[in-house]
Structure 1
Amino acid sequence: MDDTEPQAASPTTELPRGNRLHVAPWGDDTWPGTLDRPLATPGGALRVVRSRTPAPDGGDVVVSFRAGTYRLDEPWVLGAHPGDSGADGHRVIYQAYGYGTDHAEEAVLSGGRPVTGWIPDPGGVWRAEIGPLEPRQLYVDGRRAERASLRPGIPGNVTTTETGYVTDSVLPQSWHDPASIEFVHTGVNPWSEARCPVAEITGDAASTTITMAQPAFRHARDLYAARFHGELAAANGERGSLGVPASAENSASFLTEPGTFALDRSTPGHHVLHYLPRPGEDPEHTEFVVPVLDELLVGAGTEDRPLHDVVLRGLTFRHAGWTAPGGPGGFAHYHGNTYHDGGPLERVTVADGMAELAVPGRPALVPSAVRFTSATRITLHGNRFTGLGAGAIGFSGPGGDNTVTGNLVEDVSGAAVSLDRTAGVRVEDNLIHHTGREYHGTPAVWIADCHHVTVARNEIHHVPYSGIVVIGGDRTARVRIEDNLVHHTMTVLADGGGIYLAGPQGTCYADGTLVRGNVVRDTLTPYNFGLYTDYGAAWVTVLGNVVHRADAPIVLRVTPPLENVAFVGNFWDDHPAGDDDPPAGVLHAANTVLPAGDFDQALAAHPAGAAILSAAGRRGG
């Protein structure tokens, strides 16, 4: 998309009418914000909104963005300033020009920068210097390019040491720019994937020593120091320690697949991108973009003065990154949308003493490109979130009456929606797919210790871990997971589900978590459950759902045991293990097992099953 947009065909010379402002890439922040003399940036629009007095006829403040790409130099921040929020029952609305009509324009808020000056090497690889930038993503003509990788991560016979690895292969000594290489440990726990940077590679004619960056390697070794006993020891094999990496990423030496890239950081301040082009690409007519901002929009009120009554609609948020995992701390994934950043660890015993795991006392949260804290009556509607290097949308802290509806979230490295220790959020009618592109353990939707949250009528698909995760806690109450269509989850990792719940979910069935009317299909990798109530889940009602093509539809026996969990009126294609004798604390009643071979036909022929199927998923989508 061009960064410029021609002026309107029929410009007006009026000053801004009422509370209407306009922004365009060809505008100027010294202009008044009329249609023919628009502002140029979101920051310029915010400055005018803050300075305006209410129009005589009142009404919402509406800021319309004309078509084009708005490249942000810093995150767009809405805070506790009175002018950032709505007033007197009215809202501040930021929208694409023409929103709600057939002529809506595409306005892109981008945290990226174009990369030019590519120089082809004789071997076919292109190079471009990008100064001190350290991007983990590269977008080529709008497509996410994969980082160059090598499998297995370390060749030869490998021994793990306190500081890294030793191998009898000398090949790693030839790898270009070893300090930019990152080892990826997939399934170190079945639900986890860690990333640890290399510090140095040395060796001789007989062996190679790989020294890992600290504290990343220490954090990972401490976190994944599990102990298994008895049957679990046999089932987990080498799991229970960091082990040998599954793959290595980000060296020009790994550039063998067209369309992949690597970042060379060997010369401080003069980092170089290497890209192996696909057939038909040429450096003069191919658009390259790297993210330079970790956040695009931050809405941060305070408990005394929350941000409120703000609407974002019809906008596209694109090209944010997250550089922290490439630093010395790496990325030691814990569970879901959390990771271990070096805080205290606790050891817990599970599975009747057959396993001991390390648990972070206060795990860190994978960030979101658009995040809100201490916010109420925030509406995100009809937006697109794409090409993001961490999560897309996040809410945390005090809040209420927030809605995330009708959005498209695709091609993001982390979660689509993250709700952490917050309240009063509705996530409805969104299309969410191809999330967790880089951090495979992140679910599409993450809900941790929240109350009065509804996730309804969304379609979620192609996720490397679970589709929807609800983690209980002291605040958890009245969470509703209803009428979602969730399919093609667990595409990479294991021990999860289409919908996953763990921990206490309330104090009684009335204020517990309700999982109702969802259709869960194609939960892919081994050892998963379509609807997974795990680790002491309590006060959960699983009512009238459909599960098809999972490793198992549900689980009845976990450690700590389920308490006050009811499975009633569901349809699935296999008998859950132990359903003829459910444990104490579990109600299993009136569930229907349909033949797996012609499940769809049998479900369609059953009035209740057909009604569940027809109601699941987005409305009008």
Structure 2
Amino acid sequence: MPEIRFFVSPDGSDGWPGTADRPFATPKAAQKAVRAATATMTGDVIVSFTTGVYRLDEPLSFADTQADSGSNGFRVIYQAHGYGTADQAKVELSGGREITGWSTGDDGAWTAPIGDLAPRRLTVDGKPAARAARADGLPGSVTKTATGYVTDSVEPQSWPDPSGLEFVYPGVYPWSEARLAVASISGDASSTTITMAQPAFDNAKSLYDAKWYGAGGDGAWDGLAAPSTLENNLAFLTEPGTFAVRRTDTGDHVLHYRPRPGEKINETSVVAPMLETLISGRGVHDLVLRGFTFTDATWSGPDRTGGYLHYHGNARYERGDFQKIDLGADVGYVHVPAQPVQLPANVSLTSVSRVSLEVNHFTRLGAGGLLIEDATDVRILSNVFDEISGSGIAVHASTRVAVEDNLVHHIGTEYRGSPAVLVVESAETSVAHNEIHDVPHNGIVITGGEYAKGTQVISNLVERSMGKLMDGGGIYLSAPQGSSFAGGALVRGNVIRDVLTSYNFGLYTDYGAVWITVLGNIVHRADTPIVLQVGPPMENVAFIGNFWDALPDGYDTPPETVTVAGNTVLPKESFDEAVRADPAGADILARAGRRGLER
């Protein structure tokens, strides 16, 4: 069947026909040509991009109503030129804008006017720059008040532009991290008063109202007692490779950047993200995106709402009421958002079908990387996700989504409760042969519910999870996962190493987990490999044929419908050698992680 081919190049022109020798210049021009061809397809329509950075002025949006779908059994394919060959083009689809007009201040920092921009991320010569931060919290003796904080230190009064300050609260719940904006700073010769932005501060006090009675304590808990980290102020701009935005004059912001060694003013590329969405799709089908780098996008949610009130996974509070969750008289209580809002993603596909994303790189993104919602038959294969503020991959309320052979690392750089891979109330989802490492909280999260069934979490390699927050695991599952073992979740052949913070579990079946089979996995160097007592209690969960380096609490007396059988405890000191020497352990190790790689 004949294919239709179009070409795009930074050296092209949108007035040309999009042929190999006269290519288009922009994705939008190519998309217009594709739309004119899809109704009468007799073969795939392929759009090839040559090497270059394509800066998007607006999101690249795909919709079935706009003739973006394949037809007659054929696909629309957008790809890097030479896809799958040694000569594959390096193609960036960027939502960023290069910052110019730099000058050097007396202290060696660079400054540039940026209008009304207030970037939370910055890319300098292709590398992320960090927001200027003070990592040891507020100075002095700090007291929380109804409207903020008082300290006996006068130092904060010298911090310029306090309205740009953001306070960070890791562990506001053990599994959560909050961000809250400052409204003003005032004081006298003996103390400083810090007033927080409203209504975010009052909402945070309601959301994080909790009591914990563990270990015989009195229940006192105040995750908002004082911030641990302070971000975005010129007073903190001391480290090379950091930046701050001064927002004293509305619409006349100034970007300050302290250069790294070797960086030269007006020769170094500095890019600020502009777009909140790079790629969106709704209702589209038979579409392939492969070989691209999606980069330099932002998310302004915390600036719009005065903070980021995280609860769990990608869920946060933004509006509505709070629900009190009683954990029992001997445990305590917490509050949760009654109407939780999910973290968005910079690449988002909704109600799509037969869509593939293959061998792409999602990087330097200010929200989540990829969100798939209400979709069917989606393939997320062999992509890389890194340097992302939120989660890597999120799948919501979808059916037959394959998340396979991806590499996800250094995500959750700003919103640290974000998991590397999140699946929420979906059916027949496969999360297989992925490699996940160096993430701040959970590696893989599978949240069940009424429509969840048939999820398979198979042969993933998860290393160095739980790097910042507590009460999570390398692989985490909660809520009902089906209506029987046959139709429930299967967690098989995964290797989990180095679950880092305290109070963690290698394989964590939590909060009413039901109908889960945990079969033939390896857990090494976690606080404990599994947990058997949770609230609400787990039911119909089987742990069979696993290898770990410690005997879980309650192993000999599991809950009535929980099966624990045929598992092997190996010594911590010689665990690697011992598990390799066992034929079953060696098979698990050989199959875990991305396929087709030499190890």
Residues 1:77 and 2:51 are matched in the alignment: no
How far apart in 1 are the matches of 2:568 and 2:350? 43
**Which residue pairs with 1:113 in the alignment?**
97
2 CA distance for matches of 1:442 and 1:351? 27
Residue of structure 2 in register with 1:265 after alignment: 247
The partner residue of 1:297 within 261, 272, 279 is 279
Residue 565 of structure 2 is aligned to residue 589 of structure 1: yes
Cα deviation per residue 1:182-222 (whole Å; 9 max; x = unaligned)? 00001010111100000011111111111111121122111
Segment drifting more, 151-160 vs 387-396: 151-160
Is 1:229 aligned to 2:205, yes or no? no
Distance 1:458 1:53 in 2: 34
| 1:284 counterpart letter in structure 2 | N
**Which of 283, 288, 296 is matched with 1:311 structurally?**
288
What is the rounded CA distance, in whole Å, between the counterparts of 1:438 and 1:603 in structure 2? 36
After TM superposition, give the deviation of residue 328 of structure 1 in Å: 3.6
Residue in structure 2 matched with residue 371 of structure 1 by the alignment: 348
Matched, 1:332 2:309: yes
1:469 equivalent in alignment to 2:453: no
3-state secondary structure, aligned to 1:521: strand
What is the identity percentage for the equivalent residue pairs of Structure 1 and Structure 2?
53
- Give the residue type in structure 2 aligned to 1:347: K
1:1-400 equivalence runs, <5 A: 18-52=3-37, 58-81=42-65, 83-229=67-213, 231=215, 233=217, 239-301=221-283, 307-351=284-328, 354-397=331-374, 399-400=375-376
Match of 1:12 in 2: none
- Whether the 8 Å CA contact 2:430–2:456 is kept in 1: the answer is yes
Q: Classify the secondary structure of the residue corresponding to 2:64.
A: coil
Which residue of structure 2 lines up, in the alignment, with residue 604 of structure 1? 580
Q: What is the root-mean-square deviation of aligned Cα atoms in Å?
A: 1.4
Structure 2 residues without counterparts, runs of 5 or longer: none
Q: Is the 8 A contact 2:171 2:223 kept in 1?
A: no
Could you say what secondary structure the match of 1:603 adopts?
helix
| Bigger shift: residues 156-165 or 183-192 | 156-165
Q: Are 2:526 and 1:542 equivalent residues in the alignment?
A: no
Aligned partners of 2:345 and 2:556: how far apart in 1? Answer: 44
1:326-369 CA-to-partner distances (Å, cap 9, x unmatched) read: 23431000101111102221111115552111111221111111
- Aligned partner (choices 540, 545, 564) of residue 569 of structure 1: 545
Distance 1:53 1:448 in 2: 33
8 A contact 2:80–2:89 mirrored in 1: yes
Post-superposition offset of 1:239: 3.4
Which residue identity lines up with residue 534 of structure 2 in the other structure? V
Q: For residues 250 and 232 of structure 1, do their structure 2 counterparts lie closer, same or farther at Cα, with a shift above 3 Å needed?
A: farther
Q: Secondary structure at the match of 2:249?
A: coil
Gaps of 5+ in 1: 1-16, 302-306
In 2, distance between residues paired with 1:314 and 1:276?
A: 34
Q: Is the 8 A contact 2:325 2:333 kept in 1?
A: yes
How far the C-alpha of 1:232 sits from its partner, in A, is: 6.5
Larger deviation, residues 579-588 vs 180-189: 579-588
Deviation at 1:55, TM superposition (A): 6.6
Q: Distance in 1 between matches of 2:308 and 2:53?
A: 32
- The yes-or-no answer on 1:430 pairing with 2:430 is no
Using a 3 Å threshold, how does the CA distance of structure 1 residues 571 and 29 change in structure 2: closer, same or farther? same
> Secondary structure, in 3 states, of the residue corresponding to 1:298?
strand
Contact 2:169 2:223 in 1 (8 A): no
Letter of the aligned partner of 2:313 in structure 1? G
Corresponding position of 1:558:
534
The answer to whether the 8 Å contact 1:384/1:407 transfers is: yes
**Cα distance, 1:230 vs. partner?**
5.4
1:300-336 deviation line (CA, Å, top 9, x unaligned):
12xxxxx100000111101011111123431000101
CA offsets 1:483-507 (integer angstroms, 9 cap, x no match): 0000000011100000011111111
Distance 2:543 2:342 in 1: 31
Q: Contact (CA 8 Å) 2:7, 2:24: kept in 1 or not?
A: yes
SS at match of 1:46: helix
Relative to structure 1, the CA distance from residue 605 to residue 241 in structure 2 (aligned partners, 3 Å threshold; closer, same or farther) is closer
Contact 2:511–2:536 (Cα < 8 Å) also in 1: yes
Deviations 1:31-62 (A, max 9, x none): 11101111111111111111126678x11000
Change (3 A) 1:374 1:511: same
Shift in CA distance, 241/129, structure 1 to aligned 2, threshold 3 Å: same
Query: How far does residue 154 in structure 1 lie from its aligned partner after superposition?
Result: 1.4
| 2:454 maps to amino acid | R
Which string of whole-angstrom CA distances, capped at 9 and with x for unpartnered residues, describes residues 4-57 of structure 1? xxxxxxxxxxxxx8410011112122211101111111111111111126678x
Q: Distance in 1 between matches of 2:561 and 2:535?
A: 13
Question: Which of 374, 385, 388 is 1:412 aligned to?
Answer: 388
Instruction: Give the secondary structure class of the aligned counterpart of 1:473.
Output: coil
Separation in structure 2 between the aligned mates of residue 138 and residue 80 of structure 1, nearest angstrom:
34
Rounded to whole Å, the distance in 2 between the matches of 1:93 and 1:393 is 18
SS of residue in 2 equivalent to 1:45 = helix
Q: Deviations over 1:391-424 (max 9, x none)?
A: 1111112x21100001111111111101122222
Residues 286-309 of structure 1 show CA distances to partners (whole Å, capped at 9, x for unaligned) of 1111100111000012xxxxx100
Q: Is the 8 A contact 1:225 1:242 kept in 2?
A: no
With over 3 angstroms needed to count, the CA separation of the structure-2 counterparts of 1:551 and 1:230, relative to structure 1, is closer
In 2, Cα distance between the equivalents of 1:325 and 1:204? 30
Is 2:47–2:77's contact at 8 Å kept on the other side of the alignment? yes
| Alpha-carbon separation, structure 2, partners of 1:513 and 1:114 | 46
Structure 1 length as normaliser, TM-score?
0.94
**3-state SS of 2:43 partner:** coil
**CA separation in 1, counterparts of 2:190 and 2:38?**
76
Q: Give the letter for the 2:34 counterpart.
A: V
User: What amino acid does structure 2 have at the position aligned with 1:218?
Assistant: D
Report how many residues are paired: 596
- Residue 496 of structure 1 pairs with residue 496 of structure 2: no
Shift of 1:240: 4.0
Work out the CA distance in 2 between the residues paired with 1:396 and 1:127.
41
